[in-house]
């Protein structure tokens, strides 16, 4: 590694770089030079920092094309930089973090995603601290001289979380993210205290393998008490759909009525891969705990175990993007690819 860490910032938009529209007073995306001008302290870091700026968006507009753009930028610059900081809106940050974790196969360098709840131009912004800390984490090395973080992670306020285990928990708090089924990777206080046992480490160092095709033919179905046969039938008949994340009750439970299970089984028989993920923020699917979960399993629904909804849906997009047939996708959903699932 060169004496001076080389970090690439990839700016995609989000509140961190937004300014107020003078007429409507609503926040709208703005350019990177405005953002960086508001962080003069960045010059105190003895890093070489370059940037790539995309057309800035509110992350509610993020999709598989945006993810491919970010993954391509990382692939094209992988050898030139020690680490990457992706500036991104918070609304879909956990989806992007999950998607990138699958797309960037054999990643050995830090990809740290951050943003803020208040724009960088506001006096009480959390953006300055988040950006500076993300840069420091992207440059950090362990005692063997290897990158401390070798995975996609979300840095927000006091914590570093594994990207594909994270969820946006608050629309108001500075500590907006949490990983409910996996410990933090670092706690940020006076210092940055890494939990080295929880950081992802590959057994072998293989060349970076970037996949840019994510298949968007997926959707969520959220169960609610009282869901009617007509509603479920309509959702399952969505044209072109290949994969569904079924957001179930508790430990992965759903109605035991025959009509419900018949509809689900018929969709599975048509080749739709249905993954069971709990609506609870903590814990996972235990299909055998209740009859109501076991019946879903018998109908051909795959357990998503303790995956987040964000990880489950982007994993489906990734596996179908590889061109796999439904039976292969169903098999690989339950396998651990990059720390997103406890098996």
Is residue 15 a contact residue for ligand ASP (CB under 6 A)? yes
In the complex with ligand ASP, which residue's Cβ is closer, 126 or 263? 126
**Measured distance CA(340)–CA(343) in Å, rounded:** 10
20 counts as binding ligand ASP under rule CB under 6 A: no
Residue 179 touches ligand ASP, criterion: CB under 6 A: no
For residues 236 and 56, what is the distance between their CA atoms, to the nearest angstrom? 35
Q: Which stretch binds ligand ASP (CB under 6 A): 56-64, 207-215, 238-246, 318-326?
A: 56-64
The span of 54-62, 67-75, 200-208, 259-267 binding ligand ASP (CB under 6 A) equals: 54-62
Least Å distance, CB 37 to ligand ASP, is 19
For position 122 contacting ligand ASP by CB under 6 A, the verdict is no
Specify the residue, 90 or 292, whose C-beta has the smaller distance to ligand ASP.
90
Q: How far is CA 189 from CA 87, 155, 160, 186, 197, in A?
A: 21, 13, 11, 10, 19
In whole angstroms, the minimum distance from the beta carbon of 15 to ligand ASP comes to 3
Strand partners, 162: 153
Contact partners, residue 190, CB within 8 Å, separation at least 6: none
Sign for the pseudo-dihedral over CA of 229, 230, 234, 235? negative
Environment class of 14 (CB within 10 Å of its CB; exposed 0-12, middle 13-18, buried 19+): buried
CA of residue 7 relative to chain centroid, distance: 21
Stretch that binds ligand ASP, among 10-18, 75-83, 143-151, 197-205 (CB under 6 A): 10-18
Out of 5, 83, 115, 163, the residue judged to bind ligand ASP by CB under 6 A:
115
15 flagged as catalytic: yes
Rank residues 89 and 252 by Cβ distance to ligand ASP and give the closer one: 89
- Report the distance separating Cα 297 and Cα 225, nearest Å: 19
Q: Which amino acids are annotated catalytic?
A: 15
Task: Kindly list the residues in this chain that would bind ligand ASP in the complex (CB under 6 A).
Answer: 13-15, 58-60, 89-91, 115, 117
């Amino acid at each position: 590694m060169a004496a001076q860490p080389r970090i690439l910032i990839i700016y995609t938009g989000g509140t961190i770089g937004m300014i107020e529209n003078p007429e409507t007073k609503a926040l709208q995306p703005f350019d990177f030079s405005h953002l960086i001008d508001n962080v003069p302290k960045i010059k105190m870091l003895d890093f070489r920092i370059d940037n790539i700026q995309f057309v800035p968006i509110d992350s509610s507009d993020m999709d598989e094309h945006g993810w491919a753009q970010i993954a391509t930028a990382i692939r094209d610059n992988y050898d030139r930089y020690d680490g990457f900081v992706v500036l991104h809106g918070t609304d879909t940050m956990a989806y992007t973090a999950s998607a990138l974790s699958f797309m960037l196969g054999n990643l050995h360098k830090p990809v740290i995603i951050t943003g803020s709840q208040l724009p960088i131009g506001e006096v009480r912004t959390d953006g300055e601290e988040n950006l500076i800390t993300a840069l420091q984490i992207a440059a950090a090395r362990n005692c063997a001289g290897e990158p401390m973080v070798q995975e996609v992670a979300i840095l927000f306020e006091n914590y570093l979380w594994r990207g594909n285990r994270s969820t946006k928990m608050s629309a108001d708090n500075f500590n907006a993210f949490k990983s409910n089924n996996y410990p933090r990777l670092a706690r940020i206080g006076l210092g940055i205290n890494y939990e080295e046992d929880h950081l992802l480490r590959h057994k072998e160092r293989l060349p970076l393998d970037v996949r840019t095709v994510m298949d968007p033919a997926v959707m969520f179905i959220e169960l609610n008490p009282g869901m009617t046969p007509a509603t479920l039938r309509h959702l399952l008949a969505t044209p072109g759909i290949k994969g569904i994340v079924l957001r179930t009750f508790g430990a992965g439970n759903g109605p035991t009525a025959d009509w419900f299970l018949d509809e689900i089984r018929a969709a599975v028989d048509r080749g739709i891969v249905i993954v069971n993920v709990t609506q609870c923020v903590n814990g996972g699917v235990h299909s055998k705990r209740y009859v109501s979960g076991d019946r879903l399993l018998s109908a051909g629904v795959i357990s998503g175990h303790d995956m987040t909804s964000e990880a489950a849906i982007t994993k489906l997009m990734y596996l179908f993007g590889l061109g796999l047939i439904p039976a292969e996708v169903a098999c690989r959903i339950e396998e651990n690819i990059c720390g997103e699932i406890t098996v």
